[in-house]
Amino acid sequence: MFIVESYSLAVFFCIITMLCWGSWANTQKIAASTWRFELFYWDYVIGIFLLAICLAFTMGSLGDEGRSFIPDLAQASNENLGYAFLGGVIFNAANILLVAAIGIAGMSVAFPIGIGLALVIGVVINYIDNPLGDPLFLFGGVGLIATAILLNANAYRKTKVDNSKVSTKGLLLSVVAGFLMGFFYKYVSLSMFPDFTNPIAGKLSPYTAMVLFAMGIFTSNLVFNTLVMKRPFTGKPVSYGNYLSGSFKNHIIGIIGGIIWCIGMSFSIIASGKAGPAISYGLGQGATVIAAIWGIFIWKEFRDAPKGTSNILNTMLLLYIIGLGLIIVAR
């Protein structure tokens, strides 16, 4: 299987993760005018599953190092298969809430608050499990990012919103999504052997873990998204008939969104063998900066904000960038 051999390449992979995780939600924004997020989300999940399978039979099955996908899957213990699957279930619950928050509050709010909170929780949890990296730099970076989260929430509070209930709902969904999102990576990491060049019996390669993770997302979506379709956060209930009546464009946009996110997740766990789970996850969650830039400068989500809000947003982005820099040099 393909293995990252150097820390510099691992950082590059994490930057790709950051770009993918910060950009996939644009597909949901594009589809939102004609396609409910509950319907979009089915195609998004399909995109994740398809790419995970594709990577397992290509990058995960080529080369002489590690253990290729099929033999790795055959020898895996039920415990580790369960860990990776559970990671997918937790992620899916969090991500459905995050996508709903994006639809209500916008990318420049849902991502900094939801993903920023997930970053803080996830880095702490993954560092406790696998303490790689200088804690002073690592947690100093996390502290700056936490400050940036508070600044973003303050900027949103200052923004003129026609419906205060909707704005409160968007913030609440972002916080709950972020709390859950902070835990999923831990279980995927637990399922894998830490040194990808030296397979351990019963443990999974990153490619096998990604397939089980995607299966957890797909399976849990049959429950979670069905419930959300019947009892949506906003708007009227939708049905499977509404999904089947969607256009090819509607469906392909969702699948592309899932593929973009899955590239980010796959690169993150491939890089974690060299960078360590805490740094790999933390740097990848710099996606918040990318999403905030999309939301602020492309989608103009703060165009009606009062005077002075732009200064808060610029400070928020600066703190995020410095915080991410500290996370990079932590190892």
1 in a structural domain: no
pLDDT at res. 77: 97
**Residue 173: how many other CB atoms lie within 10 Å:** 24
Nearest to 105 by CA among 254, 291, 290: 291
Rounded to whole angstroms, how far apart are CA atoms 76 and 215?
15
55 in a structural domain: yes
18 in a structural domain: yes
Confidence of residue 155 (pLDDT cuts 50, 70, 90): confident
Rounded to whole angstroms, how far apart are CA atoms 199 and 105?
44
276 in a structural domain: yes
Predicted structure pTM score = 0.86
Structure tokens at 59: 């990058």
Residue range of the domain that includes 132: 7-329
Is pLDDT above 90 for 132? no
pLDDT at res. 290: 83
Nearest to 55 by CA among 199, 213, 193: 213
Question: CB of 122 within 8 A of CB of 249?
Answer: no
Query: Which helix (DSSP H) or strand (DSSP E) does residue 79 occupy?
Result: helix 78-105
pLDDT at res. 259: 98
2 in a structural domain: no
43 in a structural domain: yes
Lowest pLDDT segment from 123-132, 180-189, 192-201, 266-275: 123-132
Reported as a single tens digit per residue, the pLDDT across 83-96 is 999 999 999 999 89
Lowest pLDDT segment from 87-91, 167-171, 205-209, 268-272: 167-171
Confidence of residue 148 (pLDDT cuts 50, 70, 90): confident
The domain tally of the chain equals: 1
pLDDT at res. 166: 44
**Residue 6: how many other CB atoms lie within 10 Å:** 9
Structure tokens at 206: 């990153």
Is pLDDT above 90 for 29? no
Is pLDDT above 80 for 163? no
Reported as a single tens digit per residue, the pLDDT across 255-295 is 999 999 999 999 999 999 898 888 888 888 777 778 777 87
82 in a structural domain: yes
CA angle 292, 268, 131 (to 5 degrees): 105
> Residue 204: beta bridge partners?
192
